[in-house]
Amino acid sequence: MTASHRTYDQSHSGGSRMLVAMVGVGIICALLIALTYEGTLPRVTRLKAEALDRAIFKVLPGTNKSVPFAYVIDQGFVRRGGEETVGPTVYAGYDQKGNITGVAIQGSGQGYADVISILYGYNVQHQTVIGTHVLESKETPGLGDKIEKDQRFLSNFESLDARLNDEGTALLNMIIPVKFGNKENAWEVEGITGATISSRAIGNILGTSMTEWAPRIQEYKEDFYKDRSIEQ
């Protein structure tokens, strides 16, 4: 065997060893991830569903049961069955007597660190926002996460004005964020000092989402009462 042959063979076997090692480590890692994912998926799905249920009960005080409804253009709200998705979903809440307590709606928008996803309650009769809950947020702990904990900020959503205009096509007064201490009207969301961008984001999310959903819900609000079986 010549020197050049030896060098080729050595580098070839070294290359094969590297390849085998990388593929081997990759397979072990892929197996570990797949096993953990499969193992945790049922519990994660269940916990997420429970968390959503808890959030619905939190943003719609007095709720005893929630029912998902999908919105279909020109048809209104259709009660969702199973896992199929026919359109964007909202959750109607009912008390023990079967009376509607409100509708829980998901909204999202850009925060300081990443997209903030929230669930908020809408009182159909009084046309007000009656509660918010942050579903997903990567805001700075200790600062941005005050949007979930600051009681003064959360009091904005005890009865936030979201009335429609006479035509029922848009909000009478757009929900807007204002600086801390500057709130004068029932449709303004007073921000938090030290979490300005995050609190403004919540105000903007509500403004945008209500502009889209309030006219739809008011137009088809009878859909939430149609099926009396859901009130049992």
Partner 1 sequence: MREGGDRSARTGLLKMNFEGQTTDEFIKGLWRDNPVFVQVLGMCPVLAVSNTAWNALAMGLATAFVLLMSNILVSSLRNFIPRQVRIASYILIIATFVTITDYAIQAISVELHKSLGAFISLIVVNCLILSRAEAFASKNGIGRSIMDALGMGVGFTFALLCLGAVREIFGNGSIFGWSMFPDQFQEWIVMILPAGGFFTLALWLLIFNIIKERKAS
18 near partner 1 (CB under 8 A)? yes
The residue (of 15 and 62) whose beta carbon lies closer to partner 1 is: 15
Site track 106-125 with partner 1 (rule: CB under 8 A), x = hit: -------xx-----------
Q: How far is CA 213 from the centre of its chain?
A: 15
CB neighbours of 81 closer than 8 A, spacing ≥ 6?
none
172 near partner 1 (CB under 8 A)? no
- Least distance from C-beta 34 to partner 1, angstroms? 10
27 near partner 1 (CB under 8 A)? no
Identity at 171, one-letter amino acid code = L
Q: How far is CA 52 from the centre of its chain?
A: 9
Instruction: Output b/e per residue, 215-229; b: 16+ Cβ within 10 A.
Output: bbbeebbebbeeeee
152 near partner 1 (CB under 8 A)? no
How many residues belong to the site for partner 1 (CB under 8 A)?
32
Which has the closest alpha carbon to 101: 89, 93, 111, 109? 93
136 near partner 1 (CB under 8 A)? yes
In the block, residue with structure tokens 């029932």: 186
Question: Considering Cα of 155, then 175, then 134, then 75, what sign does the dihedral take?
Answer: positive
* Whole-angstrom Cα Rg for the chain: 26
208 near partner 1 (CB under 8 A)? no
The residue (of 41 and 86) whose beta carbon lies closer to partner 1 is: 41
List of residues contacting partner 1 (CB under 8 A): 14, 17-18, 21-22, 24-26, 28-29, 32-33, 36-37, 40, 43-44, 47-48, 51, 113-114, 134, 136-138, 140-143, 145, 194
